[in-house]
Amino acid sequence: MSMDAIKMLQGKKILLGVSGSIAAYKAATLIRLLVKEGAEVKVVMTNAATGFITPLTLATLSKNEVPLNISDHDSWNNHVRLGRWADVMLIAPASANTIAKMALGLCDNLLLAVYLSATCPVMFAPAMDEDMWHHPATRSNVDKLISYGHQQIPIATGELASGLFGEGRMAEPEQIVAFLKTHFQQKNGNKPLNGTTAIVTAGPTIEHIDPVRYISNHSSGKMGIAIAEALADAGANVQLVLGPTSQQTSHTGITTIKVQTAQEMFEAVTTRFPHAGIVVAAAAVADYRPANVADRKIKKGEAQLHIDLEKTPDILRSLGDSKGPQQLLVGFSLETNNEKEYALKKLREKHLDLIVMNSLADAGAGFNYDTNKVTLFDKNGQERSFPLKSKQEVAQDIVSAIIELQHA
Ligand code: PMT
C-alpha cells in the first residue's frame, strides 16, 4: 500500500477551536481535509467567529454539533468533557485576542473554557494583520503559549485582509494538516529526539550605526537552518532564533523567532534556555556594536570618522556558565587561521559539549555556500573531520554526534 493510501489521521480526535478572524472561512476546508484523513473532528467557535462562517457549515462538515456557549447543551461541565475527549486541540485561526486570552488564562467563552480544560497537546495557527503580529504584546503572548508547551503552526506571508502584504496570514489548511501528521508521526514513531526542545541560532546579527547604516557579516543562515531541520527530523521541537536573512524554513517541527541585533538574539535565547535540552549556536553574532547609535543619518564631514564600539553579550558563554547537567551545548568556531587552537579554546572556555570548526581558508566552506567542511571536537576529546559536504549532510553529522553524546 502506498503511503498516500494510508489515512495518517485515522481515528485521531481533533478538537478545532475557531476564533474571530477572516481566516475562519478556511476552517471549512480544514475540516474537510481532516475528515478525509480519517480524523474525527469536533468544533467550538467564539461568537466573533460566527460572523465569518456559520456554525451550521462547520457542524455539517464535521458531522458534530458546534456548541457556542458554556450553557448551550448538556450541563456545565461540557467543556471539561470536550477538553478530555481530544487527542489534540487545534486553535485555527487563533486571533490576537484569543491568543492574548489564552496567555492570560482568561475564560470568558466556551473555546477558552475548553482550552483551559484540555489535557491534550495544544496547537495554534495565528491569523492577524502584520502590525498586530509584530506588536510586542502579541510577541510576548505567543512566547508565553510556547512556554506552556503549545506548538505554534508557522504563520504565512502574503496578502492580508487589510490589503497589505506581509506576515500574518494563517497557514493554509494543507500545511496545518501536514503539521498534525508530523505531530502524530513523532508521537508514534520512535525518533531519537522526541520530547526534546532544541534552540538553534542562525544567520547574522546587525548592529545599527545610524538609521541607515549597520555593522553585520556575510552569514546567510543556511547552516543553522539545515541543523534546525535535521533536529526537527529527529523529533525535536525546535525553536530557531534567526537573524536577518532571506533564508527561511517551512518545516513543521520548527518555530522561527526573528531577531536583528545580538542583544535581541541574547534575550530570545536566554528566556527559552531553561526549557531547552539542546542548544546549537550556528549564528555569526557580531562581537562589537556601536556604543552610541545616532538617531539621525551621520552626515559626511571630516576625512575620517571614528565610531566607538562596545562588546555585545556573548550568548554562548552565558549559556555555558549557567547550563544544567542535562543540557547539551554545541558551538561553532569560524576562523581564518589557527583554527584548531581557537576551536578548542572556545570548547573549554564556553563549557561546550561539542564544537563545530569551520574555516574560511577552506574552499566551499563557511558563509553563504551550500556546502561546508567541518571538524567536530567534543568534550571527551574526540575529534572527527569530514570532507566538503552539503550543509544538509553536515547538519546530519552534527545531529548524529549530538545523539551519541546524549547516550554517552
Ligand atoms: O550562515 P551561513 O552562511 O550558512 O554560514 C555558516 C556559518 C559560517 C555562519 C557557521 O558555520 C558558523 O561558523 N557560525 C559561527 C560563526 C561565529 O560567529 O563564530 P565565532 O567563532 O565568532 O563564535 C563562536 C561561537 O560563539 C559561535 O557558536 C557563535 O554563535 C557564538 N557567539 C559568538 C559571539 C557572541 N556574541 N555570542 C555567541 O553566542
Distance 172 CA to ligand 1 centre (A): 34
pLDDT at 92 over 90: yes
Closest CA to 322 of 369, 288, 274: 274
| CATH code of the domain occupying 13-186 | 3.40.50.1950
pLDDT at 405 over 50: yes
Question: Is residue 297 part of an annotated ligand binding site?
Answer: yes
Question: Is residue 350 part of an annotated ligand binding site?
Answer: yes
Q: What is the pLDDT of residue 77?
A: 52
Whether residue 37 has its Cβ less than 6 Å from ligand 1: no
Q: Which residue in the block uniquely carries the three cell numbers 496570514?
A: 169
Q: What is the pLDDT of residue 219?
A: 98
pLDDT at 4 over 50: no
- Which is the closest atom of ligand 1 to the Cα of 217? 9
Distance 120 CA to ligand 1 centre (A): 38
Whether residue 199 has its Cβ less than 6 Å from ligand 1: no
* Ligand 1: residue whose CA is nearest its atom 27: 332
Whether residue 346 has its Cβ less than 6 Å from ligand 1: yes
Distance 281 CA to ligand 1 centre (A): 7
Residues pairing with 106 in the sheet? none
Whether residue 394 has its Cβ less than 6 Å from ligand 1: no
Distance 180 CA to ligand 1 centre (A): 33
Mean pLDDT of the chain: 92
Average pLDDT over residues 58-71: 91
Q: What is the pLDDT of residue 188?
A: 67
**What residue segments make up the domains of the chain, in order of their start?**
13-186, 191-288+309-406
pLDDT at 82 over 60: yes
Is 238 or 195 the better-scoring residue by pLDDT?
238
Question: Is residue 332 part of an annotated ligand binding site?
Answer: yes
330-387 pLDDT per residue, tens: 999 999 999 999 999 999 999 999 999 999 999 999 999 999 999 999 999 989 899 8
**The CATH number of domain 191-288+309-406, selected from 2.120.10.30, 3.40.1190.20, 3.40.630.30, 3.40.50.10300:** 3.40.50.10300
pLDDT category at 3 given cuts 50, 70, 90 is very low
- Which is the closest atom of ligand 1 to the Cα of 201? 30
Q: The pTM is what? A: 0.63
Average pLDDT over residues 75-99: 88
pLDDT at 80 over 90: no
Q: What is the pLDDT of residue 75?
A: 59
Q: What is the pLDDT of residue 158?
A: 74
Whether residue 9 has its Cβ less than 6 Å from ligand 1: no
- Which is the closest atom of ligand 1 to the Cα of 221? 1
Distance 287 CA to ligand 1 centre (A): 10
Q: Provide the annotated active-site residues.
A: 217
Are both 13-186 and 191-288+309-406 of the same fold? yes
Percent of the chain with pLDDT over 70: 96
Lowest-confidence pick of 176-185, 220-229, 250-259: 176-185
pLDDT at 274 over 80: yes
Cα separation, 82 vs 78, whole angstroms: 6
pLDDT category at 42 given cuts 50, 70, 90 is very high
pLDDT at 183 over 60: yes
Percent of the chain with pLDDT over 90: 77
pLDDT at 5 over 60: no
Q: What is the pLDDT of residue 2?
A: 33
pLDDT category at 161 given cuts 50, 70, 90 is confident
pLDDT at 189 over 80: no
Whether residue 289 has its Cβ less than 6 Å from ligand 1: no
Is 82 or 161 the better-scoring residue by pLDDT?
82
- Which is the closest atom of ligand 1 to the Cα of 346? 24
Question: Is residue 287 part of an annotated ligand binding site?
Answer: yes
Q: Which of 316, 362, 373 to mutate to test the pocket of ligand 1 (most atoms within 8 A of CB)?
A: 316
C-alpha cell at 298: 551621520
